[in-house]
Amino acid sequence: MDYITESDLIYAKDNEGRVIAEVTFPTKDGVSVIDHTFVDNSLRGQGIAGKLVQLAVDKILSEGNKIGATCSYAVAWFKRHPEYSTVCIGPVACKINR
């Protein structure tokens, strides 16, 4: 699957041009907040949402920004990847409770 990257969005389209997967992460004051993920029902269970969040995290970090997460999937992803807890703006933002 090919992913298209924009300033605050990473997504994929099907052959008909429909968005079939996306993650959004608006940035303000050096903090990018992963606030939405979507994967079409036909693609669920294939790890695509996790790949999207990883791509977003990589892009955000490459730009030198901190990360917040309000999307429930992204919050769960950060719980499974505690190695990124140091780049979150705080335990509340990424809801990493230890």
Question: Distance between CA 40 and CA 58 in Å, rounded?
Answer: 23
For residues 29 and 9, is the Cβ–Cβ distance under 8 A? no
Question: Distance between CA 81 and CA 88 in Å, rounded?
Answer: 12
pLDDT in tens, the chain (98 residues): 899 999 999 999 999 999 999 999 999 999 999 999 999 999 999 999 999 999 999 999 999 999 999 999 998 999 899 888 788 875 445 554 44
Q: How many CB atoms lie within 10 A of CB 94?
A: 26
Predicted TM-score (pTM) of this structure: 0.88
- From 9, 41, 39, select the one nearest 23 (Cα to Cα): 9
Domains of the chain as residue ranges with CATH: 4-94 (3.40.630.30)
